[in-house]
Amino acid sequence: MATATQTFLNKETSTNHPVPPQPKPWPDRMVRYSGIAWFLAAAIGQWIFVFYVVLQYIPELVQFGLPGLANTTLPDGYIAGDMAGNLAIAAHVLIAIIIIGSGPLQFIPHIRNRFPRFHRYVGRVYIVMASITSIAGLYIVWTRGVPGGLVGHLAISLDAVLILAFGGLAINFATKRQIDRHRRWAMRLFMVVSAVWFFRIGLMFWFITTGGIGINPETFEGPFLTFMYFGQMAIPLLILEAYFLAQRSKNNALKSSVAVVLILATGAILVGTFAATMGMWFPRLI
């Protein structure tokens, strides 16, 4: 009888008073919240960039067609007689609006969980468009050239290769339903697609904090630019890998250190975005 009562009481205890979910320990929360802060700063900065691209290119293209590219600030934006090159540039900037505008939406859990079909649709469009615009970018770089010399050419071409490779891997793991691996490759893809934006805010961060040490404004070359040509991909990818490591690790010191790095990176993004908006994008529009 005693055993039956005990069993009954145990059952009561376990069904009527389920153990409440335990809050995550503070190092995990630090990683989570600093990751969210980083993401929000990046999303705001990217949407300001999109806003600039829309206002810089759409009115010219709508009003004058491809020759309108000559009125923009792009070096060699329009070359008479080079139809393929002009089309590649127009496609490149128009697609940029779609991918930079939609990329951050993919990481918002609310949208992903409540509208999974939207997530899948935007994801496919994002990867296809990022691949097309990278191929168009490669064509422009190697036919028209860009400031920055051979190092600049090679670095941005590497970015194109990484975009194609990471996009392929993200799709591959999504179709195999290996969701964790898909998530990781999609986040890496987002970082390399965002490299051109990181480059601009990194450059303006450097200008505002050092006055532009290591940059030759005539040739757009110099030690800092060589560092940034590759850093535009390497730095965000390293920060992302540190974030993944902190999520997996049980080491609180490591988690806290990564959270501090994320907070510092968030500050740098905010300063760089402010400097790029006020010093580069806004003046081009007025």
CB 254, min distance to ligand HEM, A: 32
Q: Does 167 bind ligand HEM (CB under 6 A)?
A: no
Residue in the shown chain whose Cβ atom is closest to ligand HEM: 137
- Closer residue to ligand HEM (CB): 97 or 263: 97
Of 187, 191, 193, 259, which one interacts with ligand HEM (CB under 6 A)? 193
Of 66, 130, 164, 186, which one interacts with ligand HEM (CB under 6 A)? 130
Q: Tell me, what DSSP letter sits at residue 285?
A: H
Q: Can you tell me which residue has the tokens 């402010």? A: 274
Alpha-carbon distance of 267 to 270, in angstroms, equals 5
Burial class (CB in 10 A: 0-12, 13-18, 19+), 32: middle
Q: Which own/partner pairs from 206-212 qualify as long-range (CB within 8 Å, at least 24 positions apart)?
A: 207/275, 207/279, 208/271, 208/272, 208/275, 208/279, 209/271
Q: Does 133 bind ligand HEM (CB under 6 A)?
A: yes
Query: Would you state the structure tokens that stand for residue 84, as one six-digit string?
Result: 């393929």
- Closer residue to ligand HEM (CB): 61 or 140: 140
Q: Does 239 bind ligand HEM (CB under 6 A)?
A: no
CB 92, min distance to ligand HEM, A: 6
Q: Which of 70, 88, 71 is nearest to 79 (CA)?
A: 70
- The one-letter amino acid code at 245 reads L
Alpha-carbon distance of 139 to 212, in angstroms, equals 30
Q: Does 140 bind ligand HEM (CB under 6 A)?
A: yes
Q: Does 98 bind ligand HEM (CB under 6 A)?
A: no
Alpha-carbon distance of 73 to 219, in angstroms, equals 17
Q: Does 141 bind ligand HEM (CB under 6 A)?
A: yes
| Mutual angle of helices 223-248 and 179-193, in 10-degree steps | 160
Alpha-carbon distance of 165 to 244, in angstroms, equals 20
Q: Does 34 bind ligand HEM (CB under 6 A)?
A: no
- Closer residue to ligand HEM (CB): 35 or 103: 103
Of 93, 189, 215, 262, which one interacts with ligand HEM (CB under 6 A)? 93
Instruction: Give the total of residues touching ligand HEM (CB under 6 A).
Output: 25
CB 159, min distance to ligand HEM, A: 5
Of 43, 55, 74, 240, which one interacts with ligand HEM (CB under 6 A)? 74
Q: Which residues form the interface with ligand HEM (CB under 6 A)?
A: 53, 56, 74-75, 92-93, 96, 99-100, 130, 133-134, 137-138, 140-141, 146-147, 156-157, 159-160, 163, 193, 196
